[in-house]
Amino acid sequence: MDLMFSDKFLDALRTAKKAVVATGAGVSAESGVPTFRGEDGLWKKFRPEELATFEAFERNPELVWEWYRYRRDIINKIRPNPGHYAIAAMPPLFDDFCLVTQNVDGLHRVAGSDDVIELHGNIKRNRCLKCSRENYDEDFAEFPPLCSCGGRLRPDVVWFGELLPAGAFEKAEKAASSCDLFFSVGTSGVVQPAASLPLAAKRGGAFVVEINPVPTEITYITNEHLQGKSGEIMPVILERIRELRRKK
């Protein structure tokens, strides 16, 4: 892929010590996971307020569980793509590296990123509303599923109006505010508080890079917008960092 990098960006790739990569649904698009917004987005077909809130779940747990079962089936069949693998190869190139994702598909971990902050939970995990125990069961004796304690199970993801997992956002925000190179990859940048991370990075003096086929809500604050697919651009960035650091 032929990409033009600005001198300032090359400088940042050469010298950065602390890097943060923040990802959204777009990194998994090339693996076959539908994104939420946009032309082929999940929310063209489903209304989020009917599915991605606790109220919706209380009203109709069966419908909400159907939606998650459908998406689990997709995720069970797919593999990480070159974007996930390039990101997984980045940590040794920096003194300090942090990967934070809004994705619930677990593909970063499958690609080898074992230290990943999952801001919106994990779609394969179930949590009991009564005893809070977690499990990864997929075959349920009854549907909608129940915990062995008799309580109702829910997918362990973060719905609108819910708090993010304890400490997860704080950890990501700390990394973002103190890094010198920040990548925002494949997110529309509309969902808070995740969308505030690139701003925190910029405020902290980081060089902020966005990888997305289209401009987004956060493009205006970025130092470099690389227009294209994560699976094509992240491997090129990885190679450039390796090259530049060999020369040092």
Residue 218 sits in the site that holds Zn ion (CB under 5 A): no
Can you tell me which of 3, 131, 149, 214 binds ligand BJW, judged by CB under 6 A?
214
The residue to which tokens 């109709």 are assigned: 60
Tokens describing residue 76: 């069970």
108 catalytic residue (yes or no)? no
The catalytically annotated residue of 84, 108, 120, 225 is 120
**CB atoms near residue 91 (< 10 Å):** 18
Query: Considering the rule CB under 5 A, would residue 153 count as an interface residue with Zn ion?
Result: no
Q: If binding is defined by CB under 5 A, does position 130 make contact with Zn ion?
A: yes
Contact 101, 22 (CB under 8 A): yes
Residue 120 binding ligand BJW, by CB under 6 A? yes
Does residue 191 bind ligand BJW (CB under 6 A)? Answer: yes
What is the pattern of x (binds ligand BJW, CB under 6 A) and - over residues 154-173? ---xxxxxxx----------
Which two structure tokens, joined as six digits, stand for 77?
Answer: 């069949």
Query: In sequence order, which ranges of the chain are alpha helices (DSSP H)?
Result: 7-15, 26-29, 42-45, 48-51, 54-59, 61-76, 82-88, 107-110, 168-178, 197-203, 230-247
- The residue ranges that bind ligand BJW (CB under 6 A) are 24-26, 29-30, 35-38, 41, 52, 102, 104, 120, 157-163, 186-188, 190-193, 211-214, 216, 229-231
